[in-house]
Structure 1
Amino acid sequence: MRIAVDEEKCISAGQCAMTAPHVFDQRDEDGVVVVLDASPAGPEQAATRAAAAGCPVAAITLTGG
């Protein structure tokens, strides 16, 4: 699995960071998503999929895995 984010789309809702905190965080200055692990493996993949699905503006794209 590979993760890509569109920072322009991100509205800093924080759903991703709450759903998959080992994979996503938010910048302190504006709350925009930060990817901590661009290729999560194992148990983090389910949380990553849920985080991408829960993004209110579809700013997270997953490919592979």
Structure 2
Amino acid sequence: MYEFRTGSRCKYDPNDRRCVEVATNVPGVVAVRNSNTGNVQEYSPQEWAVFIEAAKAGEFDLTA
């Protein structure tokens, strides 16, 4: 069973539940859940690390 946590930058609002939640408690899996829909995607720790590095580097920055 996944133990999800919400990102520190998410400002949880019970009227607007658009937060991404992440679970890393299952070995070999990083699970990501949309708190609004409940949909879960699973990634390997390596895939997740590549995504996080790209996000930190601004690869997904739409304002750039």
TM-score computed with the length of structure 1 as normaliser = 0.28
Q: Which has the higher contact order (CA 8 A, sep 6+)?
A: 1
- Computing the radius of gyration from Cα coordinates, the structure with the larger value is 2
Q: Which one has the bigger helix percentage?
A: 1
TM-score (norm 2): 0.28
